[in-house]
A and B are shown apart, each in its own frame.
Chain A
Amino acid sequence: GDSVTQMEGPVTLSEEAFLTINCTYTATGYPSLFWYVQYPGEGLQLLLKATKADDKGSNKGFEATYRKETTSFHLEKGSVQVSDSAVYFCATATGANSKLTFGKGITLSVRP
């Protein structure tokens, strides 16, 4: 089955710093790739997605590019804000049922 590996956390940054969160995957077939975010006290929500190689997903200043050759989908943001403090999950979906497989998640804390 699919598996997703995320870099170890937690990550603590100062406001306006550059953010990269690494994500690599293994999948049978051609997966769609996702980043989900969980803000404190809230449910998981979709942040961005990409469905084919070289696609770039983007939302709220975050970006991630589907790299098939390196099986990666790293999340980046040029200038983080305190409000970006949350847990970020990378995920894949493959198969007829589009089963979503999550990584372990990484906690991001942004200091003012």
Chain B
Amino acid sequence: EAGVAQSPRYKIIEKRQSVAFWCNPISGHATLYWYQQILGQGPKLLIQFQNNGVVDDSQLPKDRFSAERLKGVDSTLKIQPAKLEDSAVYLCASRTYRAPGELFFGEGSRLTVL
């Protein structure tokens, strides 16, 4: 079974530039998450999708972050404009509806904002 795929693995940009991350979840997983993991901290939930609908985006900085999940499969997370404090690893995860809390994570996309 293929795992959660993310790209790019690494990205370096200057502040005020934009960046987009892509995620392909495990086939059949209806629930998809984006987490932000700052160095030395645990992952923090940014947004949760159920199919292509948003379930929780209460911690997403909506003035600069956006995310979509068209057709309930792949998802993209965009940051525009980026700030220095956005430097982090962006993790995508997915799960089946029947296994709450049992997430499958991708390897993450490491963003460095200069």
The stretch among B12-20, B69-77, B78-86, B105-113 that forms the contact with chain A is B105-113
A38 and B87 alpha carbons, distance in the complex (Å): 20
Contact with B along A33-51 (1 / 0, CB 8 A): 0100000011111100100
Query: A104, B102: Cβ atoms under 8 Å?
Result: no
Inter-subunit contact B4/A43 (CB<8 Å) = yes
**What secondary structure prevails in chain B residues at the interface with A?**
loop
Q: Identify the closest chain A residue to B106 (Cβ).
A: A43
A91 interface contact, C-beta 8 A:
yes
> How many chain B residues touch A (Cβ–Cβ < 8 Å)?
23
Please state if B91 and A43 are interface contacts (CB–CB under 8 Å): yes
Q: How far is the CB of A85 from chain B (nearest CB, A)?
A: 18
Looking at A14-22, A66-74, A75-83, A94-102, the stretch in contact with chain B turns out to be: A94-102
Question: Do residues B107 and A103 form an inter-chain contact, with CB atoms below 8 A?
Answer: no
Q: Are A49 and B102 touching (Cβ within 8 A)?
A: yes
- B103 CB → nearest A CB, Å: 6
Q: Is A25 an interface residue (CB 8 A)?
A: no
- Of B3, B102, B107, which contacts A46 at CB under 8 A? B102
A98 in contact with B100 (CB, 8 Å): yes
Chain B residues within an 8 Å CB radius of A34: 101-102
Are the CB atoms of A43 and B55 closer together than 8 Å? Answer: no
Check if A43 sits within 8 Å of B42, measured CB to CB: no
A97-B55, A97-B56, A99-B56 known; A32+B100 contact, CB < 8 A: yes
A34, B44: Cα distance in complex, Å: 15
Interface membership of B61, Cβ < 8 A? no
- List B residues at the A interface (Cβ < 8 Å): 3-4, 33, 40-45, 48, 55-56, 91, 93, 100-108
Which 7 pairs across A and B sit closest by C-beta, in order of nearness?
A98-B100, A102-B42, A93-B101, A44-B105, A43-B105, A43-B107, A104-B42
